[in-house]
Amino acid sequence: MQKIDEKLNNVTARVRTAAEKAGRDPAQVALIAVSKTRPAEALEQAYRAGQRRFGENYLQEALDKQAALAHLPDLEWHFIGPIQSNKTRAIAEHFAWVHSVDREKIARRLSDQRPASEPPLQICLQVNLDDEPSKAGISLEQLPELARAVNEMPAVTLRGLMAIPAPQTDFNDQRASFARLREAMESLNARGLTLDTLSMGMSADLEAAVAEGATQVRVGTDIFGPREPAQP
């Protein structure tokens, strides 16, 4: 089996190739290693290979790994999972970025609970592009109002948008979904916001996301291998 450092190199090369094809600077696309369900040792291997940004979905699991990896400098933690109200304080205290904000109440709590000693929490709003009932995210219709509200909050910085489109195998179909998220950001910026982040693209569709302007891709499987099925 390929080792984590080799897989990480492959993913980095895919991002670079996709950026170059799109005439973009590869340095404008940050790779977030999605490490949910992986043991701290796997993250440390990725760290040794140069990876610094990690994305986690489950709070307690993330806190345990942060404690286990406290000896490693310069780690940047991104929270990318669903957020319950009773988890906002720990998220505000222990992460640099949150990609999965889809309600004003959650954003307000994150802002209120962000420690004054820390820089503002960097926020992306999660958009449910296809109004899939089973999925988290604000609708495109309600996005402008939420964006305006979050933009006013003092201890968070609204940076951009995140989405997980319905899975598609065709490259052009994948692109079309990501284009809608890019257009949503452009339309918010045309109304006076200054968003600069598109968090989109995973193992199966990162090339299409980079082609449409992704500035952060979130990749798990193709760095760490297949995940165990979720616990019942």
Ligand X SMILES: *Cc1c(COP(=O)(O)O)cnc(C)c1O
Residues in contact with ligand X by the rule CB under 6 A: 34, 36, 57, 80, 164, 202-204, 218-222
Smallest distance from ligand X to CB 145, Å:
23
Smallest distance from ligand X to CB 222, Å:
6
Q: CA of 122: how far to CAs of 13, 79, 86, 104, 188, in Å?
A: 27, 10, 20, 15, 17
Which CB sits closer to ligand X, 188 or 217?
217
Smallest distance from ligand X to CB 194, Å:
24
Q: What is the dihedral of CA 168, 216, 211, 201, to 10 degrees?
A: -10
Burial 101-117 (b: 16+ CB within 10 A, else e): bbbbebbebbbeebeee
Which CB sits closer to ligand X, 47 or 54?
54
Contact yes or no for 31/12 (Cβ under 8 A): yes
Which CB sits closer to ligand X, 7 or 192?
7
Q: Which residue's CB atom is positioned nearest to ligand X?
A: 220
Smallest distance from ligand X to CB 221, Å:
3
Which CB sits closer to ligand X, 99 or 109?
99
